[in-house]
Structure 1
Amino acid sequence: MKIFSTSFSESLAHLCLLVVRIATGAFMLTHGLPKLNRLTSGEEIKFADPFGFGPAISLVLVVFAEVICSILIILGLGTRLASLPLIIAMGVAAFHAHANDPFSTKEKPLLFLLIFIVLFVFGSGKYSVDRLLNRK
């Protein structure tokens, strides 16, 4: 029976990577854009500083990951490289920022973390800027 088959259509896999990239990147932007607004508001920056860089630099790094890297992932441009800052950011969110919170609070960053690991492993797929650049 096909329902138990472990084979898959390569074309469908590339389409799934496209959908996952666009959706996950867009979802992550909903977290990054408010942080970008906070960064550019001119108000005093209060933000977690897990690595000792200072709150301002920590916020800049998270905005870079959640906004710039999310846009790159949506486009499929440098997807593997762009997923690395997001993997770090989601790891810090789950295991540092929400370390003492209940699992239900950690669940969202952990899900994002898993998706970004999958994108790091599998790349952007055929429907991406990476593919267009790789053809030349």
Structure 2
Amino acid sequence: MNPTYHFGLLFLRVTFSAMMLTHGIPKLMNLVQGNLDFGDPLGIGSTVSLILTVIGEVICPLLLIIGFRVRLSAIPSIIVMGVAAFVVHGNDPLARKELALLYLFAFVAIALLGAGRYSVSRR
């Protein structure tokens, strides 16, 4: 397959995951510092919601950047962005939920397309 295609998959994985880290790392810092004040959109508890969000916004994007089990690693990020778009911002106008939707669509594309040649899993 065309090397440009594989570079495109790498570019998609790295750029969206790196941008997701800008949202997740502050949440990780709150978790590490014991600041567990976080929303509870699914009614499972704010601490559990924060931990799951950190997994979807930090741990899985890091796995996506290196290309480790990409299709599986994209699932938590898809779920977190789905909850952000349709539950947290469900009643908001499109402009407010647009960013979550963009991340959601990108992570769905990554899950469907896979890692490509330039990934740890491919080695």
Confirm or deny a common fold (TM above 0.5): yes
Q: What TM-score do you get using the length of structure 1 for normalisation?
A: 0.86
Q: What TM-score do you get using the length of structure 2 for normalisation?
A: 0.95
Q: Which residue of 2 aligns with 1:39?
A: 31
Q: Which residue of 2 aligns with 1:121?
A: 112
Q: Which residue of 2 aligns with 1:5?
A: none
CA distance in 2, matches of 1:81, 1:92: 18
Greater CA radius of gyration, 1 or 2?
A: 1
Q: Structure 1: which 5+ residue stretches go unaligned?
A: 1-8
CA distance in 2, matches of 1:39, 1:101: 27
Letter in structure 2 aligned against 1:48: G
Q: Equivalent residues in 2 for 1:26-105 (5 A)?
A: 26-43=18-35, 45-105=36-96
Letter in structure 2 aligned against 1:10: N
For this pair of structures, how many residues does the alignment match? 123
CA distance in 1, matches of 2:89, 2:9: 29
Does 1 or 2 have the higher relative contact order (CA < 8 Å, sep 6+)?
A: 2
- RMSD over aligned CA atoms reads 1.1
Q: Per-residue deviation at 1:101?
A: 1.6
Q: Structure 2: which 5+ residue stretches go unaligned?
A: none
Residue deviations 1:99-134 (CA, integer Å, cap 9, x gap) = 1222111110101000100111110110000101xx
Identity of aligned residues (%): 47
Q: Which stretches of structure 1, 4 residues or longer, exceed 4 Å deviation after superposition?
A: none
